Amino acid sequence: MAETAADHLATIRDRIAAAEDESGRAKGKVTLIAVSKTFDAPDIQPVIDAGQRIFGENRVQEAQGKWPAMKEAHPDIELHLIGPLQSNKARDAVALFDAIHTIDRDKIARAVKAEMEAQGRDLKLFVQINTGDEPQKAGVSPDEADAFIRRCREEVGLTITGLMCIPPVEETPAPHFALLAKIAERNGLACLSMGMSGDFETAIAHGATHVRVGSAIFGSRSYPA
């Protein structure tokens, strides 16, 4: 019989535990974010039934179409926004998500702060760093990271949980993970959102606290996200 998403989930959990072990890290400390973008409720439900409670989506509107009902049925589900956020979507994002990994502009930082206050919600917030300085990619340039984090904290009044990166596809990811860890350390940030299906073990070896795994659980996506 073909392997199900629940089988894949079990395999990924084992591989995370093994990677924690190999890098001498405490067991069970890495948070698995199951990235369900492009998949609908019938594909996601078996993964919820298998005990997974933390999910990632990259589009606010897509998430609004499928998650409110599943969150209502399972109030302990935690939803993470891992894709770019436009300030005109800040209200919807703060209402639906429990964490945002893509804070990368003053305007977004201010919009999220205002919405959290207006809605009385307190989301976990990660600053996205464009570790490869790729012109087409979202995120703060490594050179500007310290100043941006300081402005988020001191001027906007945000509590920043950690940093997030997506290494350039054509490069070996390890140096990017190491750079993210270094920026986090000098800014006193405990959490690192890094590592996807193809490289989460490397990310764990470099200190990832949150890995974002999609296709290795749900299968390949039928359209690009």
CB of 56 to ligand PLP, least distance (A): 7
Angle at 21 between CA 203 and CA 5, to 5 degrees: 65
Within 13 Å and on the Cβ side, how many CA atoms surround 124? 19
Looking at the Cβ atoms of 35 and 152, the one nearer to ligand PLP is: 35
For residue 168, how many other CB atoms are within 10 A of its CB? 15
Comparing CB distances to ligand PLP, the nearer of 83 and 142 is 83
Which of residues 149 and 216 has its CB atom nearest to ligand PLP in the complex?
Answer: 216
The 3 state secondary structure assigned to 19-63 is HHHHCCCCCCCCEEEEECCCCCHHHHHHHHHCCCCEEEECCHHHH
Told to check if 197 binds ligand PLP by CB under 6 A, we report yes
Q: What residues numbered 26-45 form the site for ligand PLP, per CB under 6 A? A: 35, 37
- Give me the least distance between CB of 137 and ligand PLP, in Å please: 10
**Considering the complex, what minimum distance in angstroms separates the CB of residue 149 from ligand PLP?**
19
What residues contact 199, with CB distance under 8 A and at least 6 apart?
A: 167, 173
Q: Does 109 bind ligand PLP (CB under 6 A)?
A: no
Indicate whether 59 belongs to the interface with ligand PLP (CB under 6 A): no
Contacts of 171 (CB under 8 A, 6+ apart): 132
Which residues make up the interface to ligand PLP (CB under 6 A)? 35, 37, 58, 82-83, 166, 196-198, 212-216, 225
